[in-house]
Chains A and B, each alone.
Chain A
């Protein structure tokens, strides 16, 4: 279970309050206008921003003191998911070892992951020779080899056409059940989440008090 316990983050003009729980193996879709604080929430969980106060727990363990790469999570970014000067193989390998020291077993893991996302034999390609959907699938393969229980998705579908969206979404669903992934999916487009999210939350801004929080939408409305 992922738990945000009274996590507070201050911008000079605005305060964010996050306090909610997400059951393991569930997917929480987070909706909100651009600039509403969706990315702030992901950045806090991922460790790119330090919270002002409050704690973040996963399975009872505090994770907000850990460095970004030590947290039990992996991220699918909106853009710049892959290093353009490195091959597909290297890009995925960096998910296992930051110095790219890979054992034979590691290599097999990488090829298996490529197989799983439907891109066998693409290991030597450079990202620029791939389509947008293929690039996102390579990034997803890297998320797989990291084998972390939480997957954060930051607008992963922006710039993809609907056909590819459906394809990647199906893949995500399959992986979610297979690996029992806990997912936080940030998007401005609710249709992205159809059939994926177990729960929805909306970033609510209170302009009068200059605060914002994530409000869970009751199950019935999903």
Chain B
């Protein structure tokens, strides 16, 4: 396993190196005239920073009252509300965009509602649209992480606070804020990074020079201007900014754990006054509507039976085939890679430097623009698009899902450490060790990691935008093209199919790999 881990590490490094060599070679032959217009660059960087900053600020400012309300109010259906809010964490971005358009768009639900009061609503495109979509994803994420940290305050502290007669504001100042203060820089950094590099959302809601970010400009430079030098320069700027934020996040040691949220019965009483209760209930209803309406819109879109005819088209079958191949190959390969990397990581236990480097390598894709990486690979592979397109999409996809899968699997692999001495003393090594000791312990997390990888791959919409062709499509790309052609009804059907496929893969992997009867 450890040797396989070294091999996987080598391959990942090789992929990055090959891409960089490819780009470097092309850059030296490209004429220097194609240099970047400075005012354009400044404009793009400014907007990228602005939208990411505002998205982060709004998500966190709203998450604090929502998390507090969720923490201090007990009501039936609370766990249901939490799981519903968790849905936004797993919905593919391109699918969620469709739901957001159906709710907030010019012909959306809210616009219909506003029309009844003779109000005009055209707010979805431009900065507002980008912020709405980013907050849709990141408000539940931030709420979840803040709620998890609120749960760590022991009941004895709340009792003591009650004894001392602390009011809601005092509780915030003395109990909650000190905790948030530790979490917020990291949380803000994470959300900032996600929004700064977000692609599909800006592609759909932004547009034009005015509302373009670095990530989208890179894509456009490659797709429409065929200007590699421009793309690489933009990429360098993006990587430097991301690296700065990334170092800032990881410098603080504690990582978020995406553990199960449990409902604790809390002895705090600052939510008991009628005024406070009304306030909290109002906030929670707004939060629920915010998350739920786009999801309902997606479901409603799938109920449009007249549009099911889209399933008869050749384009759909091509996309379905592409999605199946891409997700199965990348999910399964990534699962093997991630397993071997976890064991390599475990063998680094005593070396903080080595494990940090491995961590960095796995997470590099979060700051490295996938389009540039993909283009570098394309230059080296040289083959025609039909041949190299799928390979590149799968490679980039694997890199993109590794960090998430690793986070799921790593704790249980590290847990097997407790049996190291006992296993060695009994001669349980290699395959005996894996099948008798480790597999039963890691099986569940492995299945979960595999499920996460498969589901993420099904919904992935990034480099496929560049490498899709007549013969090679995936469902998310197909959905994007339908939306672009204003065939919203057909798009609704595809969105439902993407969700079902992701869910199916997720649950099948739990059933086939993770069940107690599954053998090694």
Give me the interface of A with B, judged by CB distance under 8 Å: 46-48, 67-70, 74-75, 77, 79-81, 83, 85-86, 94-95, 98-100
**Contact: B419 with A98, CB < 8 Å?**
no
Give the docked Cα–Cα distance between A67 and B432 (Å): 16
Query: Which single residue of chain B is at the shortest CB-CB distance from A71?
Result: B425
Q: Which of A79, A95, A98 contacts B432 (CB 8 A)?
A: A98
Contact of A94 among B418, B436, B441 (CB under 8 A): B436
State which residues 420-451 of B face A: CB under 8 Å. Answer: 421-422, 424-429, 432-433, 436-437, 440-441
Interface contact B425-A81, CB-CB below 8 Å: no
Q: Are A48 and B421 closer than 8 Å at their CB atoms?
A: yes
Q: A46: nearest residue on chain B (CB-CB)? A: B425
B424 touches A69 (CB 8 A): yes
Residues A70 and B427 in contact, CB atoms below 8 Å apart: yes
Q: With A80-B419, A98-B432, A99-B432 as known contacts, state yes or no: A85 contacts B440, CB within 8 Å.
A: yes
Known: A83-B437, A99-B432, A100-B436. A48 touches B424 (CB 8 A): yes
Measured between beta carbons, the chain B residues less than 8 angstroms from A68 are: 424-425, 427
B426 contacts across to A, CB distance below 8 A: 69, 94-95, 98
Residues on A with beta carbons closer than 8 Å to the beta carbon of B427: 67-70, 98
The residue in chain B whose Cβ has the minimal distance to the Cβ of A73 is B425
Which residues in A have their C-beta under 8 angstroms from that of B425? 46-48, 68-69, 74-75
Closest to A99 in B: B432
User: Complex formed: what's the CA distance from A197 to B376 in Å?
Assistant: 70
**Which chain B residues lie closer than 8 Å to A75 at the CB level?**
421-422, 425
Q: Can you spell out 25 A-B residue pairs with CB atoms less than 8 angstroms apart?
A: A46-B425, A47-B424, A47-B425, A67-B427, A68-B424, A69-B426, A69-B428, A70-B427, A74-B425, A75-B421, A79-B418, A80-B419, A80-B422, A83-B437, A85-B441, A86-B436, A86-B440, A94-B436, A98-B427, A98-B428, A98-B432, A98-B436, A99-B432, A99-B436, A100-B436
Q: Which residues of B contact A99 (CB under 8 A)?
A: 432, 436
Across-interface contacts of B422 in A (CB, < 8 A): 75, 77, 80-81, 83
Separation of A100 and B421 alpha carbons in the complex (Å): 18
Most chain B CB atoms below 10 A, which of A47, A79, A83, A85: A83
- Residue total for B at the interface (Cβ-Cβ under 8 A): 16
Q: Are B418 and A80 in contact (CB under 8 A)?
A: yes
CA distance A98 to B437 in the complex (A): 10
Collect the chain A residues with CB atoms within 8 Å of residue B437's CB: 83
Q: B422, B425, B440: which has the most chain A beta carbons within 10 Å?
A: B425
Q: Which residues of A contact B433 (CB under 8 A)?
A: 98
Given A68-B425, A98-B433, 14 new contacts (CB under 8 A): A47-B424, A68-B424, A69-B429, A80-B419, A80-B421, A80-B422, A83-B437, A85-B440, A85-B441, A86-B440, A94-B426, A94-B428, A98-B427, A99-B436
Residues of B within 8 A of A94 (CB): 426, 428, 436
Measured CA separation A18–B422 after assembly (Å): 24
* Residues of B close to A48: CB separation below 8 A: 421, 424-425
**Closest partner residue, chain A, to B443 (CB atom):** A85
- Closest Cβ–Cβ distance, residue B385 to chain A (whole Å): 49
Residues of B within 8 A of A74 (CB): 425
A135 to chain B, nearest CB (A): 13
| Min CB–CB distance B248 → chain A (angstroms) | 32
- CB-defined contacts of B441 to chain A, threshold 8 Å: 85
B429–A98 CB distance below 8 A: yes
* Nearest CB of chain B from residue A149's CB, rounded to whole Å: 15
A79 to B417, CA, bound (A): 13
B420 CB to closest chain A CB, in angstroms?
9
Give complex CA distance A46, B433 in Å.
18
Which 3 residue pairs are nearest across A and B when measured between Cβ atoms?
A69-B427, A85-B440, A98-B432
Task: Pick from A67, A86, A94 the residue with the most CB of B within 10 Å.
Answer: A94
Q: Mark B285-306, 1 if CB is under 8 A from A, else 0.
A: 0000000000000000000000
**Distance from B426 Cβ to chain A, minimum over Cβ atoms (Å):** 5
Contacts of B432 in A (CB 8 A): 98-99
**Most interface-central of B424, B426, B432, B433 (chain A CB within 10 A):** B426
Q: Which residue of B lies closest to A48 (CB)?
A: B421
Give, as a whole number of angstroms, the nearest-CB distance from A76 to chain B: 10
Establish whether residues B436 and A77, one from each chain, have CB atoms under 8 Å apart when the complex forms. Answer: no
Q: How far is the CB of B442 from chain A (nearest CB, A)?
A: 11
Roughly how many angstroms separate A75 CA and B426 CA in the complex, as a whole number? 9
Q: State A36–B433 Cα separation when bound (angstroms).
A: 31
CA gap between A157 and B224 in the complex, in Å: 73
A67 and B424 alpha carbons, distance in the complex (Å): 9
Expressed in whole angstroms, the minimum distance between the Cβ of A148 and any Cβ of chain B is: 10
Chain A nearest CB from B467 CB (Å) reads 44
A153 to B427, CA, bound (A): 18
Q: Which residues of the other chain, A, contact B421 by a CB distance below 8 angstroms?
A: 46, 48, 75, 77, 80
Complex CA distance for A81 and B437, rounded to whole angstroms: 13
B residues less than 8 Å from A83 (CB atoms): 419, 422, 436-437
Q: How far is the CA of A48 from the CA of B436 in the complex (A)?
A: 21
Residues of B contacting A79 in the complex (Cβ-Cβ under 8 angstroms): 418
- Set of chain B residues within 8 Å of A47, measured between Cβ atoms: 424-425
How many Å from the CB of B428 to the closest CB on chain A?
Answer: 5
Nearest CB of chain B from residue A33's CB, rounded to whole Å: 21
Chain A residues with Cβ below 8 Å from B424 are 47-48, 68-69
Chain A nearest CB, measured from B238 CB (Å): 42
Closest residue to B421 on the A side, CB-wise?
Answer: A48
Q: B369-389 CB contact bits vs A (8 Å, 1 = yes)?
A: 000000000000000000000
CA–CA, A110 and B286, complex, Å: 64
The residue of chain A having its C-beta at the shortest distance from the C-beta of B420 within the complex is: A48
Query: Considering the chains assembled together, what is the distance between the CA atoms of A14 and B418 in angstroms?
Result: 25
CB distance from B500 to the nearest CB of A (A): 34
How far is B429's CA from A68's CA once the two chains are assembled, in angstroms?
11
The docked-state distance in angstroms from the alpha carbon of A85 to that of B415 is 13
Q: How far is the CA of A77 from the CA of B427 in the complex (A)?
A: 16
Q: Closest chain A residue to B440 by CB distance?
A: A85
Chain B residues whose CB sits within 8 angstroms of the CB of A85 once the complex forms: 440-441
CA–CA, A71 and B35, complex, Å: 69
Q: Closest CB-CB distance, A9 to chain B, in whole Å?
A: 16
Instruction: Chain B residues near A81: list those with CB within 8 A.
Output: 422
**Residues of chain A lying within 8 A (CB to CB) of residue B440:** 85-86
